[in-house]
Amino acid sequence: MSDSLFDRLGRARVRDVLVPGYIDRDAERPVFKPFPVSVHLELEDGFAELATVRDEGRMTLGFVDEPGVPEALLDDEDEFCLDSRGLDVLSEGYDALRVTRIRGVVPAGSPSGAGEPGTQYECLEFCFEDTSYLFVDPGHSLGIRLGGEGAYDRLMALNAGRPTGLAPGRPFVWTP
């Protein structure tokens, strides 16, 4: 059995999608304020963490026991919390879903391949049970943007043929 990060994720079941943030209590009502420097896929035995690479518009994938408090929120007076986005992504008929496909883009010139520890990604799309989708895009100024079905294809079409100062990344598809 392979030891790639993707293979490990493919053997797991995803229960929820969590975004870190804090409770802003300065207003009349408490308000959740996202701080999406990371996104966590809650698994049955820990978490897959998608974490932004500071000022790069990229992210890494790894496994952690528990989501940590983002460094910028450690000294904050507001209360750290996690926002569940699972209902936006995961089907209601399941308690946990298998990852059945991962598509994404590895930056050009990357020394490591998709699914290897330490690899950086320009974006990732997770397909759950061949029916539900989660698109994860770290290329936004506020952190990671989440999308659903079709978001990966729209980004690829938008970037096709655009002149950029950077070499285009290498798309890949992984299936278990």
- What integer best gives the mean pLDDT of the chain? 86
Residue 46's pLDDT is what?
A: 94
Task: Give yes or no for residue 165 having a pLDDT over 80.
Answer: no
Rounded to two decimals, the pTM is 0.89
Pull the structure tokens for residue 140: 């936004």
Pull the structure tokens for residue 101: 């496909």
Q: For the chain, what percent of residues have pLDDT higher than 90?
A: 44
Q: With residue 24 as reference, give the H or E element that holds it.
A: strand 14-24
Pull the structure tokens for residue 142: 């506020």
- Please state the rounded mean pLDDT for residues 148-167: 75
3-state secondary structure of 63: strand
Task: Give yes or no for residue 41 having a pLDDT over 90.
Answer: yes
Residue 125's pLDDT is what?
A: 96
| Pairwise CA distance, residues 39 & 35, whole Å | 10
Task: Give yes or no for residue 2 having a pLDDT over 60.
Answer: no
Name the residue type at position 64: V
pLDDT per residue over 47-105, tens digit each?
999 999 987 889 999 999 999 888 877 666 768 899 998 877 776 667 788 999 999 99
Q: Which of the four pLDDT bands, split at 50, 70 and 90, describes residue 140?
A: confident
Residue with tokens 């070499």: 167
Task: Give yes or no for residue 1 having a pLDDT over 70.
Answer: no
Nearest to 123 by CA among 137, 142, 106: 137
Q: Evaluate whether 35 touches 72 at the Cβ level (below 8 Å).
A: yes
Q: Evaluate whether 53 touches 102 at the Cβ level (below 8 Å).
A: no
3-state secondary structure of 37: coil
Q: At a CB cut-off of 8 Å and minimum separation 6, what does 126 contact?
A: 14, 41, 99, 101, 102, 133, 134, 135, 136
Task: Give yes or no for residue 163 having a pLDDT over 90.
Answer: no
Q: Which of the four pLDDT bands, split at 50, 70 and 90, describes residue 159?
A: confident
- Please state the rounded mean pLDDT for residues 99-123: 90
Q: At a CB cut-off of 8 Å and minimum separation 6, what does 169 contact?
A: 105, 106, 107, 108, 110, 122
